[in-house]
Amino acid sequence: MWDNRIIVIGSGAAGLMAAIHAAEAGSVALITDGPLGRSNSIMAQGGLQLPRPGEAALRSFEDDIRRSARDQVDAERVRTFVENVDTTISELVEWGLDLDRDERGDIVRRSAGGLSEPRIVSVRDQIGPAIMKVLRKVVESCPVEIREHTTVVDLRPIDGGIEVVVRERDGNVKTLRARAVVCCTGGTAHREAVRLAQPTTNPANRNHELFDVLRGLGLPLIQEDYFQYQPFGIVETWGVEGGKCVPESIVNFPVRLLDRERRDIGEIRRDRYDLTHLMFELAEQGRAVELGDGRRGFWLTLSDLDEATIAATFPKVHHFQQRAGALGQDILVYPFLHYYLGGFRTGPRGATEIPGLYLAGEMVGGLHGRNRLMGNGITDSLVHGAIAGKAAREYVARNRN
Query: Residue 248 in contact with residue 114, Cβ under 8 Å?
Result: no
Query: Residue 375 Cβ, how far from ligand FAD at the closest point, in Å?
Result: 5
| DSSP string covering 159-219 | TTEEEEEEE-TTS-EEEEEEEEEEE-----HHHHHHHHT--BSSPP--HHHHHHHHHHTT-
Tell whether residue 183 is a contact of ligand FAD (CB under 6 A).
Answer: no
| DSSP string covering 25-54 | GSSEEEE-SSSTT-SSGGG--S-EE-PPSS
Pairing of strands 173-183, 357-359: parallel
Residue from 7, 43, 130, 351 that binds ligand FAD (CB under 6 A)? 43
Tell whether residue 152 is a contact of ligand FAD (CB under 6 A).
Answer: yes
Question: What's the gap between Cα 49 and its chain centre?
Answer: 12
Tell whether residue 313 is a contact of ligand FAD (CB under 6 A).
Answer: no
What number of chain residues touch ligand FAD (CB under 6 A)?
Answer: 46
Q: Stretches 8-16, 217-225, 231-239, 314-322: which one binds ligand FAD (CB under 6 A)?
A: 8-16
Tell whether residue 34 is a contact of ligand FAD (CB under 6 A).
Answer: yes
Q: Which is nearer to ligand FAD, 13 or 235 (CB)?
A: 13
Q: Which residues, 336 to 355, sit near ligand FAD by CB under 6 A? A: 339
Residue from 126, 185, 346, 371 that binds ligand FAD (CB under 6 A)? 185
In whole angstroms, give the CA distance from residue 52 to residue 341: 25
Query: Which ranges of 5-155 does DSSP label H, i.e. alpha helix?
Result: 13-22, 55-69, 75-95, 127-141
Q: Stretches 79-87, 182-190, 232-240, 259-267: which one binds ligand FAD (CB under 6 A)?
A: 182-190
Q: Which residues, 219 to 258, sit near ligand FAD by CB under 6 A? A: 245, 247
In whole angstroms, give the CA distance from residue 383 to residue 368: 15
Q: Which is nearer to ligand FAD, 202 or 265 (CB)?
A: 202
Q: Max Cα separation, the chain?
A: 71
Binding site for ligand FAD (CB under 6 A): 9-15, 31-34, 38-41, 43-48, 127-128, 151-152, 184-186, 201-202, 205-207, 209-210, 245, 247, 339, 361-362, 375-379, 381
